[in-house]
Structure 1
Amino acid sequence: MAAKVRIKAGPVEFEYEGETELAVVDIKDLFSHIETLFKVPVLAEGGEVHNPATLPAAQAPGNGAVNGGGPKLHVNSVAQKLKAKTGPEVAVAAAATLQICEGKQTFSRTELLDMMKKATMHYNANMSGNLTKILANLVGSKLNQISDGVYSLTSEEYQKLATQLA
């Protein structure tokens, strides 16, 4: 009897077809191995946190969300809730707006800067000139760099911010 398994989780895809049957224990083990791939920064944001099936019910889309994974707030409101004053804090508020409020899985450097500029009560022109430095400091701690000029919040930061904005 042939076995066929296909699993897609974010950017990670696994397909197996063969004569060897897979037991439930084998499939659970496979899932745990795939889960470890999400700890690799480049792959981490492909679906782990942003997959509605993995979010707690309070954070899942449809629970107070409008077209996104969280409450529909303007970036000024997000920045105010997060008490954003510095460039990195405004950048995190803009990233939270893009991912949590608008439901984007990733965002470009341009999208981030445009959203930062919309935080008129918190943004100043120096932040644009310092964006490269701001991003360099945030990548690894609060942001993942998916590819050149493409970013996402880390899993931990996403969950922390989603809780703060709820």
Structure 2
Amino acid sequence: MESKIKIKMGPIEIEYEGSEGFLKEELPALLSAVSDLYRESGVTEVQPTQRQPSTAEASKPITENNVANFQGTTGSLAAILGVKSGPDLIMAAAGRLTLAVGQGTFTRSQISNEIRSASAYYKRTYSNNLTKYLNQLVKAQKLMETGKDTYALSASEKSNMESRIAQ
């Protein structure tokens, strides 16, 4: 299966079109290398096509409109959030469905599909333990159960993710 990816960090831009297998195996290393290259480039000035936010804009609280427009994958959000466990990956999936896709609620099936899409983080045991993990997250009030097998990201977790993405 063919896949495409485009990564841009400041003046550094990388595009890839090719086998999905390569991306699944090499994406974490690629993201790390691009991040290192960007850091080493020492670029700190604003590019001519960008503008500095005004003081009023810079001090605005993070909101759905000015944060995210997060367009990454569950895997890229997992990297930002430092995912280490099944419940962590479920939260990254919930964050992507909420922030990138714009869904207020999502189903168990959608969560399952999202965690599987993050191949660098996914383990088969996460699917086997999905019910247990979802119950833990509901009890911890990180996810809200809005109906049978339907969930929403809690307001506090949504706010937490938005601030971590904005960093």
What TM-score bracket applies, with the shorter chain setting the length? Answer: 0.5 to 0.7
Residue number in structure 1 paired with 2:101: 102
Counterparts of 2:127 and 2:109, CA distance in 1 = 10
How high is the TM-score relative to the length of structure 1? 0.60
In structure 2, the CA distance between the partners of 1:135 and 1:64, relative to structure 1 (3 Å rule), is closer
Structure 1: which 5+ runs fail to align?
A: 1-55
Identity of aligned residues (%): 30
Q: Any idea what SS the aligned residue of 1:139 has?
A: helix
Alignment coverage as a number of residue pairs: 106
Counterparts of 2:120 and 2:104, CA distance in 1 = 26
Counterparts of 1:88 and 1:132, CA distance in 2 = 10
Task: After TM superposition, give the deviation of residue 64 of structure 1 in Å.
Answer: 6.0
Report the residue type matching 1:78 in the other structure: L
Residue number in structure 2 paired with 1:142: 142
In structure 2, the CA distance between the partners of 1:127 and 1:155, relative to structure 1 (3 Å rule), is same
How does 1:1-166 map onto structure 2 within 5 Å? 58-61=62-65, 63=66, 65=68, 70-140=69-139, 141-166=141-166
Q: Any idea what SS the aligned residue of 2:111 has?
A: helix
Counterparts of 1:88 and 1:64, CA distance in 2 = 24
Counterparts of 2:109 and 2:77, CA distance in 1 = 19
Structure 2: which 5+ runs fail to align?
A: 1-59
Moved over 4 A (4+): none
Residue number in structure 1 paired with 2:9: none
How high is the TM-score relative to the length of structure 2? 0.60
Task: After TM superposition, give the deviation of residue 57 of structure 1 in Å.
Answer: 6.0
What do residues 35-93 of structure 1 show as CA deviations (whole Å, max 9, x unaligned)? xxxxxxxxxxxxxxxxxxxxx664233x365xxxx311111110001010100000000
Counterparts of 1:86 and 1:112, CA distance in 2 = 15
- Aligned Cα root-mean-square deviation (Å): 1.5
Counterparts of 1:97 and 1:127, CA distance in 2 = 18
Counterparts of 1:145 and 1:91, CA distance in 2 = 14
2:67/2:162 contact within 8 Å kept: no
Counterparts of 1:82 and 1:159, CA distance in 2 = 13
